[in-house]
Structure 1
């Protein structure tokens, strides 16, 4: 990355720019005054006065650059933009082009200041976007509420969150019910209702009533703190494009010095009326326009913008390199539960032999309300409030189901093994049903069944359709039964699906795709997905509030669990890539044109410096556009 003079790169909140940049501003004012005397008023100032004010303006603007050039030269590094600017401007003074020499240094410093300011603002916007941790928290101690720093709250203590306040620490909700805005963590502003015992995270905003939370992690270990660390680390990881441009600059600058020298020397042997002053001037123009700063600053600024845009949409890229990597993805592999499905069971079908499905459901709910199994909960919660039956004499038969008395009738609710145990006959074709099936017997006669299945996420089908429309190959890997996996894949329209997989089987399938030359992104949310997330070219953790192992391993963290964010992440990667390469081509194209014009004597130092600063500003403005894109 291009190094800068940072005398002006960190403005304080207390001082406006005209204070922090007073030397540069003074130099600019002197330069404008000299140009007005010379060109607007046609006043020839005495040589001594002219030289004095030009040197004063030059030193006001150029001392930091000259000092940096000298320090680098002492270390043996003369091929850098500081040395380049120093040579070019001192050369202009040597041939009597005072104002042009001052202008080169002043406008170079102005451009450099704009670049530094833009980079600093990009970093600040990323940090302010996410660093929403409260400075104080209300904690209950000895029955009294106290305001303390969140860092001083211990695990197990109870904190109070008022309506409109941010939750300061991760914990379990004690209050019966509360609604939270999770936009800071997930990018989604819709309210998320939590109930007693549910986990809430630092950064959520309490929307309605005063809520109490039992703290489950320290301030430093909260999910939000870890997310902040990931984003801060991300800005330090260079993309392949950045690394290439940095290496390119180290080769590019000495080549430019060599070419500038050739512009000065070669015409001596081939031009009849050779003028040293004229060709020296052309070589100076060549040096000024060749400064690579616009390239090597606008590129990281582009990646900062991409990381900021992603963060604003609830997506965390752990480095600019992953913004690059995701643009090459041609195969998206996804886990089923928690990624494409809700991980929440729901009733799919109710069948009653006698046709009275409502009564069958009531009997099943009366029995299943005594079980904590997810399938039992799905049945119990289906159309709640419509059943009034009460189960008695409940017996759990491990691995089979439940037996109970309801309304004086013997009721069996469970799997086929339960009915087999009691020698109850039921249709053989039930084995063909894909989803989880709960059989019900009343008075030892088969009465019907209820099927239960994991609910597909609302946007999953549209996301798969959009992925395939973009030419992405879609695969689902799951530990669930193959029949269930195939049915979900059929409903969603996936290209391929595999079920009954262990974690090592998922790794094997992804490795096969990589061996076939595919660029694979894998999205998963569970701890068992961590190995395959690590293997894929781009590992995506679904649900930034999920399994720590997967989040730590992933290259990209989607802070909610909506599949469409995978497409958003790919789109952000492509937006960033396009703008970065627009800057590369813009900078190189204009520089090559002006280099040729300068060597041919058409462009002056004025055109050179305006072109250089202009390219830098255009590249910066183009990079800043990323932060205002919608995805």
Structure 2
């Protein structure tokens, strides 16, 4: 009970997270220290309750066997000593709350009820009620501490020290002291402490801490590797690109820690309800004690006072106040265990009742890994020079198509001078190059926007086509193809089984979008859309009074994400902006996580409502019995602490349930 005050203040400021693969990896010194502190604090938290239980047990034996001398002041002092270890922390918090103007708290209710039992000389019941209440608080505290521990352990997955390559020497250095540009040598089985790029030829990593997937991820030279990844086989050198505090893992932890600030409507309702509910039951308890004086011929104050005390114990709202947030924490934790980051329980609630999932194409339903298929440059133009121009201008873009072009064409011609480079959302890029030559690289709408004619039937293409124009002349095109993700079709089928409509929106050619849509089976599809066109489509869906989740890259589609009820980003191991702009982040880019997060949302909502119904049903029954004098303090304890424990155990199911 030592940390009872802190627990009540912070129990709703903690979220659940899961540490994947932790049990299979050697813990760092930081992890050992955290676990040691956690275990020691767990032992200590039981000491007051154990002391109270021993004194209560001995006192009960004395009552039964030695009543001839165990009475009066001696008996009272004995039970006061049994009461103090568990009762004093509660009375202290009740007094602190009173001084702050917060009168109707469960601490005050328990204090009045147990001290009232002492007034009626029902000492064992007074101690027992507070003891069982303390045990319930302990279990609640342990549940919250466990959630905090999971986050702390995830943070401490990063090693305290790293090996830095300095010339031909290897120097050990504190991870937080490593600067950007330094090179870390990572041995087989070691965890990476900071984000960087691989400068070795190839290496395989376990990415479960970030994506929830234990399947090895093979990286090649120049590719990004992140803090928390574990080197599986060969020795690898990584060049640091991010400070320790700014790593992807740190941002994920910050995201998870802030998730609880956004409450679900159910949580907000229960908190408001508790503020009204508690003073009402205090007034009812007072009425139970006093009104019979005017209605009953033989009014016995102690009898009705006892009934009022029972009523107070039963009315404590702790089962609702703690079990509901824990239910949502469990849902957020279950999602994170499967590589899904949810920024608040309100988004989890929204996904549970989502009616329409609208998806972007590239990177969401397709791999986003483009490959050049055909280069068609019109006669009369120098092919190599044109491709040099295209390669140079596309090097200024981060779009996957630009990456495909660069991979195909290779090294950029450093002699070329680019000026006035602009990326036009939904169209492509334009710049001036080599003595003020204007070059346009993008879709055919970009050419139409600049009133440039072309002699190509765009409807005949089933690949993405990049048009090229120089000095207001169409000079050719490049075709690029993308692969549909393996689980895209099954994802759409699952969503339809869940009665969720699906819509595909893309800025790509309509023929390409139609091809993808026919392969995976979405309900509706639209192509050749600009960002503002996507916004209009979302507005159209919302006019049908349907809730909408938009799934995309979370950057270029910012207006659509903002307009939708829930913005879901295929974050993968991509940019930090993706994490910041969206409500939900799918870390491994797998579409199958979309129906999974809906299942998690629905399961969470079911558990929360089970807890609410269980608490209300049992409390109403026992309240009626207590008011009628048919329930004792023992039944009251079950209605309060027992229901809270059952609700907590029910919430914990989210952590072991498979989705």
Task: Tell me the equivalent position of 2:642.
Answer: 614
> What SS does structure 1 have at the residue aligned with 2:508?
coil
Alignment check: 8 A CA contact 1:136 1:148 kept: yes
Which of the numbers 90, 111, 116 marks the counterpart of 2:115?
90
> What SS does structure 1 have at the residue aligned with 2:234?
coil
Moved more, 327-336 or 71-80: 71-80
Whole-angstrom distance in 1 between the partners of 2:575 and 2:353: 26
> What SS does structure 1 have at the residue aligned with 2:157?
coil
Output one character per residue of 1:156-182: Cα deviation in whole Å (capped at 9) or x when no partner. 221111111112222221111111111
Alignment check: 8 A CA contact 1:264 1:283 kept: yes
Whole-angstrom distance in 2 between the partners of 1:434 and 1:112: 63
Alignment check: 8 A CA contact 1:345 1:452 kept: yes
Moved more, 555-564 or 177-186: 177-186
Alignment check: 8 A CA contact 2:197 2:240 kept: yes
Residues 375 and 535 (structure 1 numbering): CA distance in 2 closer, same or farther, change over 3 Å? closer
Whole-angstrom distance in 1 between the partners of 2:403 and 2:289: 85
1:476 deviates by 1.0
Task: Tell me the equivalent position of 1:112.
Answer: 137
Task: Tell me the equivalent position of 1:559.
Answer: 587
What pairs up with 1:291-330 in 2 under 5 angstroms?
Answer: 291-330=316-355
Task: Tell me the equivalent position of 1:243.
Answer: 268
1:220 deviates by 1.7
Q: Does 1:487 align with 2:515?
A: yes
Output one character per residue of 1:124-145: Cα deviation in whole Å (capped at 9) or x when no partner. 2244346522222211124321
Alignment check: 8 A CA contact 2:151 2:253 kept: no
Output one character per residue of 1:326-366: Cα deviation in whole Å (capped at 9) or x when no partner. 112111011100000001236999xxxxxxxxxxxxxxxxx
Moved more, 316-325 or 229-238: 229-238
Task: Tell me the equivalent position of 1:578.
Answer: 606
Whole-angstrom distance in 1 between the partners of 2:315 and 2:653: 25
What pairs up with 1:367-516 in 2 under 5 angstroms?
Answer: 432-436=460-464, 453-516=481-544
> What SS does structure 2 have at the residue aligned with 1:145?
strand
What pairs up with 1:3-18 in 2 under 5 angstroms?
Answer: 4-6=4-6, 12-13=37-38, 15=40, 17-18=42-43
1:41 deviates by 7.5
Task: Tell me the equivalent position of 1:224.
Answer: 249
> What SS does structure 1 have at the residue aligned with 2:631?
coil
Whole-angstrom distance in 2 between the partners of 1:381 and 1:17: 56
Moved more, 239-248 or 122-131: 122-131
Whole-angstrom distance in 2 between the partners of 1:87 and 1:537: 46
Residues 376 and 169 (structure 1 numbering): CA distance in 2 closer, same or farther, change over 3 Å? closer
What pairs up with 1:342-353 in 2 under 5 angstroms?
Answer: 342-345=367-370
For structure 2, the 5+ residue unaligned runs are 12-35, 375-386, 395-399, 409-427, 429-442, 445-454, 467-477
1:548 deviates by 2.8
Alignment check: 8 A CA contact 1:129 1:312 kept: no
Alignment check: 8 A CA contact 2:4 2:89 kept: no
1:436 deviates by 4.9
What pairs up with 1:568-607 in 2 under 5 angstroms?
Answer: 568-607=596-635
Residues 54 and 380 (structure 1 numbering): CA distance in 2 closer, same or farther, change over 3 Å? closer
Residues 429 and 306 (structure 1 numbering): CA distance in 2 closer, same or farther, change over 3 Å? closer
Residues 91 and 109 (structure 1 numbering): CA distance in 2 closer, same or farther, change over 3 Å? same
Whole-angstrom distance in 2 between the partners of 1:61 and 1:243: 30
Residues 520 and 14 (structure 1 numbering): CA distance in 2 closer, same or farther, change over 3 Å? closer
1:40 deviates by 7.0
Output one character per residue of 1:391-437: Cα deviation in whole Å (capped at 9) or x when no partner. xxxxxxxx9xxxxxxxxxxxxxxx99xxxxxxxxxx99996342358
Q: Does 1:536 align with 2:564?
A: yes
TM-score (norm 2): 0.79
Output one character per residue of 1:449-485: Cα deviation in whole Å (capped at 9) or x when no partner. x986210000000100111111111011111111111
For structure 1, the 5+ residue unaligned runs are 350-367, 383-398, 400-414, 417-426, 439-449
Moved more, 143-152 or 101-110: 143-152
Output one character per residue of 1:231-258: Cα deviation in whole Å (capped at 9) or x when no partner. 1111343222222111111101100001
Task: Tell me the equivalent position of 1:55.
Answer: 80
1:35 deviates by 1.8
Whole-angstrom distance in 1 between the partners of 2:142 and 2:515: 54
Q: Does 1:624 align with 2:649?
A: no
1:376 deviates by 12
> What SS does structure 2 have at the residue aligned with 1:456?
coil
> What SS does structure 2 have at the residue aligned with 1:5?
helix
Task: Tell me the equivalent position of 1:254.
Answer: 279
1:501 deviates by 1.5
Output one character per residue of 1:39-97: Cα deviation in whole Å (capped at 9) or x when no partner. 47777623222111011112222111112222222333321111111111111111221
Which stretches of structure 1, 4 residues or longer, exceed 3 Å deviation after superposition? 6-14, 16-21, 39-44, 345-349, 371-382, 427-431
1:36 deviates by 2.5
Moved more, 169-178 or 587-596: 169-178
Task: Tell me the equivalent position of 2:17.
Answer: none
> What SS does structure 2 have at the residue aligned with 1:15?
helix
Q: Does 1:77 align with 2:105?
A: no
Instruction: Provide the aligned C-alpha RMSD in A.
Output: 3.4
Whole-angstrom distance in 2 between the partners of 1:511 and 1:41: 79
Whole-angstrom distance in 2 between the partners of 1:114 and 1:346: 56
What pairs up with 1:37-186 in 2 under 5 angstroms?
Answer: 37-39=62-64, 45-129=70-154, 131-186=156-211
Alignment check: 8 A CA contact 1:131 1:228 kept: no
Alignment check: 8 A CA contact 1:27 1:57 kept: yes
Aligned length: 565
Residues 507 and 348 (structure 1 numbering): CA distance in 2 closer, same or farther, change over 3 Å? same
Whole-angstrom distance in 1 between the partners of 2:281 and 2:401: 72
